[in-house]
Chains A and B, each alone.
Chain A
């Protein structure tokens, strides 16, 4: 049943590339953002928190539509890029990465925010008293003490990006090798009544999704006991 065509394989590779890149970028953005959300006191915090959570409730097509507008040749971002002599981002792989980063934002920010809140300020304050500057503190105290949260954030982001469909369809179109990722391939197969091929890929995703959730819950359990 797993006789995957070369087109399928390129879609799988493209999907993994998209999810991997999104995860890397997102973790580096989400970490400082989540830190600020967990420790800040200003009112702006609530606004940002709501903005970050938007993709959870918004139909992906809505987000995708606005992203398409923004990234396209006449959009705020796309237009700016064009004026600098670069290409706009609609229907490109880069456009997908930007959109995925926004779309998966809550899946990275929320677990990180939670571990940071659990960590509290104490370890950081003590580390500072012992002469560690902010960067030093991040790598020697925050990262090792919150590694569970980082692992969960990374896994969820990766998995959620693999599963996205609506945003991809709006922003990416369906260009083979550029924006033709797994979920759209499955859609295409189903549209053309090729149920066997659709089932093949769907089943892979199903198993993958289960494995990811299993990992997350197992991690959660393991890291529960680490805190003193």
Chain B
């Protein structure tokens, strides 16, 4: 699918003081995250796209298909959308296999793009197809839910906070699957999330919502290069470094990555990706230190040459420094005192030091 598909959504809802008003055109490529605090209308937008929210005079066009417009309303079961919700919505009266096949058998043969075998291998479910749903862990259930949606060969995958009900470990077990999906399967994904980490790890573009309205639509790199990005509200500034996996098992339990756009090497705790695969490394600004020389006799493994682009005062003690590592943006949070002692200024060349253990691929 190389055509430039877009999703056009327009709709207004007024409900008990809550006003939802949206008129947007979203590119249907890769992962689009709808981000905002709870109650801002993210889920309403998703349900509008799915046709689950009854809204008069709304407009939903997917590419050349009209899903909703004046006098037209295509019911959900004819839209060919994959839906994955936050909590378990598996059919408890069916086995894993029958759950996975529910949509598959209802998809016309010519439209089927995936098989039960390939999807169960992709999601690591091949050994549990005959299990009952209540014998699965939370993470496994969510994988079944994703697999089941994929087996309908959807034109669009809608994920409503797919990871938020899961604990940290399970989350990091599912995250790679979702990344893999968006990179390799060619199904556009629209995902509702209030987790910065999820958005940074998965999204290509972000729809920022607040009080029932869309504030702006930005590409991830763009959103991450603004000092005042809404993504930084909770955990402080963070950056995503795009890198390619050069050596998955580089000894001492580490993997070796090469940053995109420059030759710098990044060491991170071992990850389970394929050689040559694209990896997003999330770096919190507070985990980045600066130095004027390339420190080699410290415990910090990652020393990246960088250039200071922008210095922003945060409060009386801290400064946020925006750096360029090659062409990629990296934020560092340092104290006012360090800023003064090192005499850091915009345009200066420095070294960014990052602890390898602070990094997650």
Contacts and interface: CB of A to CB of B under 8 A. Distances in A.
A205 interface: no
B12 interface: no
B103 A227 contact: no
A227 B79 CA distance: 29
A130 interface: yes
A136 B76 CA distance: 14
Interface stretch (B24-32, B80-88, B264-272): B80-88
Interface residues of A, number: 19
A131 B89 contact: no
Nearest to A133: B77
Contacts of A48: none
B52 A130 contact: no
Contacts, number: 67
A129 B91 contact: no
A228 B92 CA distance: 7
B148 interface: yes
A102 interface: no
A228 B103 contact: no
A58 interface: no
Given A145-B92, A228-B133, A228-B134, A131 B149 contact: no
B93 interface: yes
Given A122-B85, A126-B83, A228-B134, A131 B90 contact: no
Given A126-B83, A126-B85, A130-B102, A226 B77 contact: no
Contacts of B77: 128-133
B240 interface: no
A141 interface: yes
A123 B152 contact: no
B106 A131 contact: yes
Nearest to B54: A41
A130 B89 contact: no
B75 interface: yes
Contacts of A133: 75, 77
Interface string A114-146: 000000001101111111110010001100110
Contacts of B134: 228
B149 A129 contact: yes
Contact of A123 (B76, B89, B149): B89
Contacts of A130: 77, 102-103, 106, 148-149, 152
Contacts of A127: 91, 102
B133 A145 contact: no
Contacts of A123: 89, 91
B83 A132 contact: no
Interface of A (DSSP majority class): helix
A123 to B, nearest CB: 6
A198 to B, nearest CB: 46
A141 B102 CA distance: 10
Interface in A191-228: 226-228
B50 interface: yes
A123 B145 CA distance: 11
Contacts of B85: 122, 125-126
Of the listed residues A125, A128, A131, A136, the one surrounded by the most CB atoms of chain B closer than 10 A to its CB is A131
B107 interface: yes
Contacts of A136: 106
Interface in B72-116: 75-83, 85, 87-93, 102-103, 106-107
Interface in A75-100: none
Of the listed residues B90, B106, B133, the one surrounded by the most CB atoms of chain A closer than 10 A to its CB is B106
B152 A131 contact: yes
Contacts of A126: 83, 85, 89, 145
A227 B106 CA distance: 25
A131 B92 contact: no
Given A122-B87, A228-B134, A128 B76 contact: yes
Given A126-B85, A130-B103, 18 more contacts: A123-B89, A125-B52, A126-B145, A128-B76, A129-B50, A129-B81, A129-B83, A129-B158, A130-B102, A131-B80, A131-B106, A131-B107, A133-B77, A145-B92, A226-B92, A228-B88, A228-B90, A228-B134
24 contacts: A122-B85, A125-B52, A125-B83, A126-B89, A128-B75, A128-B77, A129-B81, A129-B154, A130-B103, A130-B148, A131-B78, A131-B80, A131-B107, A132-B102, A136-B106, A141-B91, A144-B91, A145-B91, A145-B93, A226-B92, A226-B93, A227-B92, A228-B88, A228-B134
